[in-house]
Every structure is written in C-alpha cells, then in structure tokens.
C-alpha cells in the first residue's frame, strides 16, 4: 500500500543563519537543523561545538535565537513557516552592533566626538 501525497505532512521552510532549511510539519527546530546536516549550531565560550544533546529541554545545549528572541531551546520549539533561526547570541550581537552604529551616527550628526577619537 502506498501513501498518498496528501497524507504526508507538508514541508515547512525556514532559515538558519540565512541558509534555507526544511522539515515536515510537526518537526522541532532541532530536528530541522539535524535534517539539514547540521550536528552543532553554537559554540561555547571555550570553543566547544554544541547542538542536540538531551532532546527534552533539560540541558540547554541546543539553544538558538528564533525570530529575534534569544535563548530558545531548539528541541522544544516546533518549526514554523518562515522562522528566522540563528546561532545563540546572534540577536545580542546584532543589537549591540546596531546600537553602536546608531550612537556613532548620532554623535557625528551633532559634532560630539566619539569615544577613542580626538
């Protein structure tokens, strides 16, 4: 007996660090990352690679940033269409860079010297 195409779960599409990923509806973000060939998606401060470890939301090894919200456990979050997923800390780094750029632009606009400049 063959399975009809309508019986298969539809594929959801998202991105990880700007690259497309895809998984069946109902799959977790971690499952989608594994299906895309990734076994790790963040690095500890000491440089160790981390990805899925416990798979039940206890260990926090699989944390990622999802749609601008940091610290999300990839094993606990169902993949949703159009999700933007990034390695853990990407939201904070992006926000910090944007704040620095805005502060620099404001300082240049009003003639205030920036820190470290004469």
Q: Please give the model's pTM, rounded to 2 decimal places.
A: 0.73
* Cβ atoms of residues 2 and 69 within 8 Å: no
Percent of the chain that is helix, strand, coil (3-state, to 5): 25, 25, 45
118, pLDDT greater than 50:
no
Q: What is the mean pLDDT of residues 68-82?
A: 97
Two tokens, residue 101: 């750029």
Question: What are the domain boundaries of the chain?
Answer: 10-109
CATH number for the domain whose boundaries are 10-109: 3.10.20.440
117, pLDDT greater than 60:
no
Confidence of residue 90 (pLDDT cuts 50, 70, 90): confident
């Amino acid at each position: 007996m063959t399975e009809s195409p309508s019986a298969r779960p539809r594929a959801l599409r998202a991105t990880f660090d700007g690259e497309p990923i895809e998984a069946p509806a109902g799959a977790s973000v971690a499952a989608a990352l594994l299906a895309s060939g990734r076994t790790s998606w963040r690095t500890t401060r000491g440089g160790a690679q981390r990805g899925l470890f416990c798979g039940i939301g206890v260990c926090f090894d699989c944390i990622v940033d999802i749609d601008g919200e940091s610290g999300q456990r990839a094993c606990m979050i169902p993949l949703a269409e159009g999700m933007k997923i990034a390695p853990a800390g990407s939201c904070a780094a992006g926000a910090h860079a944007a704040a620095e750029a805005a502060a620099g632009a404001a300082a240049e606009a009003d003639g205030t010297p920036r820190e470290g400049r004469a």
